[in-house]
């Protein structure tokens, strides 16, 4: 019985600060933007990679700020980002490990961090679809408008 109360206390703590923890997690997406800029550099050239990187970084910055302030639209955008990021990160990480296995140590470290981020993102998807948190984001957005 004591363990259940402890788990409920931890979940309540996370629920009350999900906007803060989610904002910290989203900073990882800047690393992903840099990684994708390298791919864009090879495929499309410097101009497109730079433009795409700047545009994504600015949009991500706006999103993080709005998510921190419990904006309902940002909660939905975050769910979409996580829905897209999880399969992307899994496929890149598994390709590295199932490939020839001679990845650069930095790539291996990034893949290990990606697996940690994936676990956190799956937990956050569960948390951000919780009715209490949905109401909290929606209610806070309504308070800010009034």
Q: From 6, 21, 136, 28, select the one nearest 81 (Cα to Cα).
A: 28
DSSP 8-state code for residue 71: -
Residue 1 has pLDDT above 70, yes or no: no
Average pLDDT over residues 97-112: 78
Which percentage of the chain shows pLDDT scores above 70?
Answer: 93
Residue 146 has pLDDT above 60, yes or no: no
**Any residues with CB less than 8 A from the CB of 77 and at least 6 apart, and which?**
63, 67
Residue 135 has pLDDT above 60, yes or no: yes
Per-residue pLDDT at 145: 56
pLDDT in tens, 60-99: 999 999 999 999 999 999 999 999 999 999 998 888 878 7
Per-residue pLDDT at 92: 85
Assess contact for 103 and 96: CB atoms under 8 A. yes
Reading the block at residue 58, the tokens are 């600015």
Q: From 85, 78, 89, 61, select the one nearest 128 (Cα to Cα).
A: 78
Residue 107 has pLDDT above 90, yes or no: no
Average pLDDT over residues 124-146: 79
Per-residue pLDDT at 93: 84
Q: What span, in angstroms and rounded, lies between the C-alpha atoms of 71 and 137?
A: 6
Q: Where are the alpha helices (DSSP H) in the chain?
A: 2-16, 18-26, 28-44, 46-68, 72-98, 105-128, 131-145
**How many other C-beta atoms lie within 10 A of the C-beta of residue 39?**
11
**Chain centroid to CA 130:** 17
Q: Is the dihedral of CA 22, 52, 84, 111 positive or negative?
A: negative
**Average pLDDT of the chain, as a whole number:** 88
Question: C-alpha angle 81/14/117, rounded to 5°?
Answer: 40
């Amino acid at each position: 019985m004591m363990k259940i109360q402890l788990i409920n206390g931890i979940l309540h703590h996370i629920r009350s600060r999900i906007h803060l923890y989610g904002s910290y997690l989203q900073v990882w997406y800047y690393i992903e933007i840099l990684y994708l800029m390298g791919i864009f550099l090879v495929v499309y050239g410097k101009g497109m990679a730079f433009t795409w990187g700047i545009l994504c970084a600015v949009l991500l910055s706006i999103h993080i700020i709005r998510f921190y302030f419990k904006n309902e639209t940002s909660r939905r955008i975050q769910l979409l980002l996580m829905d897209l990021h999880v399969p992307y990160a899994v496929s890149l990480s598994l390709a590295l490990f199932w490939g020839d296995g001679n990845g650069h140590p930095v790539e291996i470290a990034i893949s290990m961090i990606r697996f940690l981020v994936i676990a956190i993102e799956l937990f956050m998807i569960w948390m951000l679809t919780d009715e209490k948190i949905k109401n909290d984001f929606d209610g806070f957005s309504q308070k800010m408008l009034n």
